[in-house]
Chain A
Amino acid sequence: MNSQWLTIVTSSDLLRIAAEELVYAEADGNYTTLVLASGDRRVVTLQLGQLERLVAQQTPLAATGFVRIGKSLIVNLSAVRYIHPSRGILELCTPAGAKHELSASREALRALKEMMERNAK
């Protein structure tokens, strides 16, 4: 399948990422940290909601492979390896084997677990 590209433009630079390269994005106020499958971390001057809108607009085919979890995270569903709602743990794994352990609300992770259970059936 052809890659869908996410292009983030500011007045000073341009960042282009293949949608499947984005493992997760984490909000930090008016900034968002993008964590890529290569291990790179990029901080962009976008709020997470703005990034969410960009993903939906620029990569409509790939967008449904991403899930917004609460106010702070956007996660690539294909990278989800382990969910433990009662401990609030979400573990992601890239194809290269890099692991990322994130925390999120138990309710949100419970909803994510249920959704992925339904999709697995």
Chain B
Amino acid sequence: MKEIDDNEIRIIGKPTPRSGSWYVRLAWVLVCVVVVVAALALWIKTGGSFEVREGSACDSGVRELPAREGSPADESVIVIDTVVDDVPLTLYMLDCLLPDCSRASLQLGLPAADSSLLLAVMAADVRADNGDIVGDFVIDGRQLARGERKEGYCAILDGVPLLGRGGKPFLQQALDEEGCFFRQYILVDEGKALPPKPKGKNHRRALCRMGHTLFVAASVDRESYHDFATALADLWVDEAVALVGSESLLIYRAEGGLLHTVGSAFDSPNANFLVWRR
């Protein structure tokens, strides 16, 4: 919900022309219907072979994504503009229950803009003073930075991103299985907004899981973590982990196959990207 100034009033429950939460929900229902139909078609095509990996008892809040099977389907990123709680958002939909349409990885430096690139977004924060990566950071089983202060995590195991709060078992698994792992602020955990302490407004981004669907959410305007996290929770996101915000670089392959960029990469050897390739 948007903050209010002492000199303002607002009617409760009355949507502003921009907010349109009813329309947002209708849009989500339509998206879900499309996803379910696509998943059902794929399930029939593959002989009903979706599997759900067992979760870890130490991370009961984390529900894992389906294993990837079947054939590639949509090879572009679906971009949705919406407004929740007066917070304009752009959603970059990645997964949509379409197994094998992409594999995720974590990498240092700018991702090669080749034909396999679907989506790239800056992942872990880099300290301005010494250029170090903030928090546990693992690429291909090699730990390049340590730190647990930020509770949110994204682990990538066998090309599948898992996100949530805590994540120690997945850190170890990433180390053991040559996976990837990074830490960021947790914004939404089990559907509840958990805005981190830092105040102020900036362009925010987050990796979000809603059921079996993954997407990157980006605020269009400068928002506080509180408003951004609350908007994601009100969007019915199950988990959301922050990504590098501000004007950082995001690359996505739009419908039609062209790569689009948003923002710019900052000059640091430790600038790192969460990348999806087909």
Instruction: Tell me the A residues contacting B by CB distance below 8 Å.
Output: 49, 52-53, 55-56, 59-60, 63-64, 66-72, 74, 104-105, 107-108, 111-112, 115
Contact = CB atoms under 8 A, between A and B. Distances in A.
A72 B8 CA distance: 11
A67 B13 contact: no
A105 B6 contact: yes
Contacts of B12: 52, 55-56, 63-64, 66-68, 74
B11 A105 contact: no
A115 B8 CA distance: 12
A67 B4 contact: no
Interface of B: 1, 3-14
A72 B7 CA distance: 11
B13 A105 contact: no
Nearest to A62: B13
A117 to B, nearest CB: 13
A107 B13 CA distance: 22
B188 to A, nearest CB: 15
A22 B10 CA distance: 17
A60 B4 contact: no
Given A52-B1, A67-B11, A74-B12, 13 more contacts: A63-B12, A63-B13, A66-B12, A67-B10, A67-B12, A68-B4, A68-B9, A70-B6, A70-B7, A70-B9, A107-B6, A108-B8, A111-B8
Contacts of B9: 67-70, 108, 111-112, 115
B13 to A, nearest CB: 3
A26 to B, nearest CB: 13
